[in-house]
Amino acid sequence: MSDRVLLATFEHEDDLLAATDAVRRGGFEIVDAFTPYAVHGLERAMGLRPSRLTWVCFLCGMTGALGMLWFEHWTASIDWQLDVGGKPWNSLPSDVPVAFEAAVLLAGFGSVFALFAVSRLFPGKQPQIIDPRITDDRFVLVIDEANAAFDAAAVRSMLQEFHVLAVEERVTTPGGELQ
């Protein structure tokens, strides 16, 4: 990604969706899209890969379930054998509820913290809002200018078809944050 990006602001989600699709098909690199709410179909228009978070969730859940089953087995029937109601030491049914809870807990926490990590979210982070109105009623598409095919005039005229409200160039900081 270069340090120069183009910000295109739209008033309607349909325009944003159509423009995103057209820009991607035109061979330009889309940095991100900012919307006040989740716009259905935007991930498809942007050509995003399927989320890998589901795998994090699944693996964390399996780790929780299998890890807890092993731990319960080890504590109750290997390290210190417990007689509960005359049941065998190695009683699988009694281990299942805790294993289930551990699976849910690890899957939940794993997904949330993996999301925080990949989107670099942490307590005390200063929000970088490119335009206050993206939290209200504006839709902003951010296009990378690095591409050799990038032609500002052509992009502007292409965006006009989708009723773009404003087109603005910005420079990003070395950390990749928009200013």
Partner 1 sequence: MTTEDSHTSPNRLFDATSVTRHNRFLQRLAIAGAIILACGVAFAAERVWSNLLVGTFYLLTIALGGALFVALTYVSGGGWHVAFRRIPEAMAKVLPVAGIAMLIVLGVRMSRYGWHHDWHGDAGTFWFKELWLTPSFWALRAVIYVSLWSLLAGWLVARSRRQDKTSDAAITGGNVRIAALFLAVYAVTFSLASADWMMALEPMWFSTMWGVYNFAGMIQAALAVMIILGLILRSHDGPLRGVFNDEHLHDLGKLLLGFSCFWMYIWFSQYMLIWYSNIPEETSYFITRTHGPWGPVVVGSIVLNWVVPFFVLLPKPAKRNAGIMMKVAVVVLIGRWVDLYVMVFPSTLGETPVFGVWEVASISCLLGAAGLMLFRSFAQAPPVPRHDPLLSESLHYHAG
Q: How far apart are CA 177 and CA 179, in angstroms?
A: 6
83 makes contact with partner 1 (CB under 8 A)? no
Q: Which stretch binds partner 1 (CB under 8 A): 26-34, 37-45, 137-145, 158-166?
A: 37-45
The DSSP secondary structure of 20-33, one letter per residue, reads HHHHHHTTPPEEEE
Per the CB < 8 A criterion, the answer to whether 28 and 150 are in contact is yes
96 makes contact with partner 1 (CB under 8 A)? yes
Q: How far apart are CA 20 and CA 46, in angstroms?
A: 6
Q: CB-hemisphere CA count at 13 Å for 67?
A: 13
The DSSP secondary structure of 95-125, one letter per residue, reads HHHHHHHHHHHHHHHHHHHHHHHHTT--TTP
41 makes contact with partner 1 (CB under 8 A)? yes
85 makes contact with partner 1 (CB under 8 A)? yes
Q: Which of 97, 154, 156, 161 touches partner 1 by CB under 8 A?
A: 97
174 makes contact with partner 1 (CB under 8 A)? no
List binders of partner 1 among 138-167 (CB under 8 A). none
The two structure tokens encoding residue 32: 């991100």
Q: Which of 35, 94, 111, 172 touches partner 1 by CB under 8 A?
A: 94
88 makes contact with partner 1 (CB under 8 A)? no
Of the pair 54, 135, the CB lying nearest partner 1 is at: 54
Sites of contact with partner 1 (CB under 8 A): 38, 40-41, 50, 54, 58, 85-87, 93-94, 96-97
